Amino acid sequence: MTDTTIHADAVPSDAELLAAYALPDRAAPRLRANFVSSVDGAVTLDGRSGGLGSPEDQRLMTVLRTLADVIVVGAGTVRAEGYGGLRLPADKVELRRGMGLSDQPPVAVVSSSLDLDPTHPFFRTALVRPIVLTHEDAPVARRAALAAVADVIDCGASAVGPARLMLALAERGMPQVLCEGGPHLFGELLAADLVDELCLSLSPVLVAGGAGRIAQGAPEAARPMRLVHALPAGDMLLLRYARVR
């Protein structure tokens, strides 16, 4: 059988990735999600998405972070993936300055229970003051503890409302939102039909087992997407889909 696979010599440069994932209108609110998945649909390996990644996938994540106004992530993902202070390299800082953006994008964590440790590296090593997205009925004592290390923003009365979340960020000058998971947060955003783009890196592994999917909790429904591109990066495939509205 003839091998027609495009191998590692077809690896996009940072400049090519920046062009491929450029945003057409920075003023219009946009929710872009970024995930890595095995070819059989697993979103984690040994409980973490990091086990599915590659250097090329990491470069893409850096590019997407460079283009974002704010990065949004669920509290469970912060704990499971060991999120610490985000630090973009100097060349990406220069690119952001050229776009009129802050040197580093802030990271916003979504939490209803506020079950977050204020001394966690996510807060302690952050270069930019983090954001906590919660609701008005969240525990008062935990709110006070987190307010000392982050900006706490209410996005609903008794639960975090996805639409309120997007509005709150846009009102603070951050309309370009990059969601990095986890699956439950992504499911809530899908259920509210707020996802404009999905950037999916297909990892060249078969995982099987009981690993979950990139979205959990959303009701089953067909949500049409349009393929923007499929970029080979060695044996990994970088897919960009846009929502058809």
Residue 5: pLDDT band (50, 70, 90) is very low
Q: How far apart are CA 169 and CA 178, in angstroms?
A: 11
Task: Say if pTM beats, i.e. exceeds, 0.85.
Answer: yes
CA dist list (Å): 147 to 86, 89, 136, 141, 150 = 19, 28, 14, 10, 5
Give all domains of the chain, ordered by start, each with its CATH number.
28-243 (3.40.430.10)
Q: What is the pLDDT of residues 23-75, one digit of tens each?
A: 989 999 999 999 999 999 888 888 777 788 889 999 999 999 999 999 999 99
What is the pLDDT confidence band of residue 80, given thresholds at 50, 70 and 90?
confident
Task: Tell me how far apart the alpha carbons of residues 127 and 216 are, in angstroms, rounded to a whole number.
Answer: 31
Cα(243)–Cα(221) distance, rounded to whole angstroms?
Answer: 14
Q: Both ends of the chain: CA-CA distance in Å? A: 41
